[in-house]
Chains A and B, each alone.
Chain A
Amino acid sequence: MLSELSSLINSKVPNAKAEVINPEEGSLGEGSILVAPESIYAVCEFLKTNDKYSFNALQVISGVDYLECIEVNYMLGNFDVNNPRQLILKTKLTDRVNPRLDSVCGLWHAANYQERECYDMLGVTFNNHPDHRRILCPDDWEGFPLRKDYMTQKYYRDMEVFPDDKMNYEEREFIVRQKQMEEDLKKRMLERGM
């Protein structure tokens, strides 16, 4: 179904660049279709309205930060009793500073909150979103928590996020990692000196 669907998308939506991603050998999971981020609205519109493989439900929009790109996943479904199906649609945004995508709120109302969450956690801006603001974090929060390079702010409205007198910094992971790196460096220096 996936290869047929991707060739259908390519024939109906120009510049979609749809390709099938199959799960690696020996690993579990379903295959997915990767499309170009500029054509996401057109692809979704096609997937919703075509006759053969229509997807009338948007189940999830989620995001993944892979450092080199931010991937946004759409899980579409159709709960047709005779032919239930679902599809994982992926798109990759290479611009980490200002990632932008077209909103699919016009097609599925369910996209509203999901896109807001994606914006809140990963900072993906959705064009033409009817209510584009954070959903979980406070409105004046800084940064996007699910980014790999996220640094927690020191204060939020005069409240210290990690108060020094309450934290056990020796046990915090990155300090431990940093100490290990320092020791490794010392060892290497010693070896060279010897």
Chain B
Amino acid sequence: MQDGIVLAKADELLNWGRKNSLWPMTFGLACCAIEMMATGASKYDLERFGCGAFMATPRRADLMIVAGTVTLKMATRVKVLYEQMAEPKYVISMGSCANKGGPYWQHGYHVLKGVDEVVPVDVYVPGCPPRPEALIEGIMTLQKKMASERLLADKWVKNA
């Protein structure tokens, strides 16, 4: 590569960088968080996808994995945390509870019926809780979505 030239579209180069350094937020709500931790640990090793650097603050993170039951009390906090993240930001809804209320869907007076009521969700991972493979698939799906984004082009076209 020394003295070589690589030709790429600016957007694709940016996307390549962004999708392979996806920093999730250290944020777990219930039992799904245990699976999320297992995904981050050595056996499943999220770092293979550039996604293992769990950030301790939403300001440095660009992915929120909503892992677990979102109660109404927590939903207000979830929204605040999402708003604290810097753009561009992504949300993975992990597990049945975060997707649609899960077992609390019918009688759960205290559970939000899906985290998409308060924040926009990019990828839903079904399961109760999903296995680490399922979460990895969700993250890879998100990476595919990110690779097809055209942030710079959109911005320039919009401001032209």
Q: Which residues of A line the B interface, CB within 8 A?
A: 137-138, 145, 150, 152, 156-157, 159-163, 166-168, 171-173
User: How far, in Å, is B53 (CB) from chain A's closest CB?
Assistant: 32
Instruction: Choose from A138, A163, A171, A172 the contact partner of B113 (Cβ within 8 Å).
Output: A163
Number of interface residues of B (CB under 8 A): 16
Q: Report the bound CA distance from A50 to B27 in whole Å.
A: 50
CB proximity of B141 to chain A, nearest CB, Å: 23
- Residues in B whose Cβ lies below 8 Å from that of A166: 100-101, 105, 113-114
Query: How would residues 99 to 131 of chain B score, 1 for a CB under 8 Å from any chain A CB and 0 otherwise?
Result: 011000111011011100110000000000000
Are the C-beta atoms of A145 and B109 separated by less than 8 Å? yes
Q: Are B118 and A159 in contact (CB under 8 A)?
A: yes
Interface set of B (CB-CB < 8 Å, partner A): 72-73, 75-76, 100-101, 105-107, 109-110, 112-114, 117-118
Assembly CA distance A156 to B107 (angstroms): 16
Which of B106, B107, B109: most chain A Cβ within 10 A?
Answer: B109
Rounded to whole Å, the gap between the CB of B77 and the closest CB of chain A is: 11
Knowing A145-B109, A152-B109, A166-B114, the reply to whether A161 touches B72 (Cβ < 8 A) is yes
* B8 CB to nearest chain A CB (Å): 43
Majority secondary structure of chain A interface residues (helix, strand, loop or mixed): loop
- Check if A137 sits within 8 Å of B117, measured CB to CB: no
Bound Cα distance A142, B101 (Å): 21
A138 to B109: give the CA distance in the assembly, Å. 12
Which residue of the partner chain, among B100, B101, B110, B113, contacts A145 with CB atoms under 8 Å?
B110
- Give the residue of A137, A163, A167, A172 whose beta carbon is less than 8 angstroms from that of B110: A137
Interchain residue pairs A-B with the least CB separation, the first 7: A152-B109, A138-B73, A156-B72, A166-B113, A163-B113, A159-B75, A145-B109
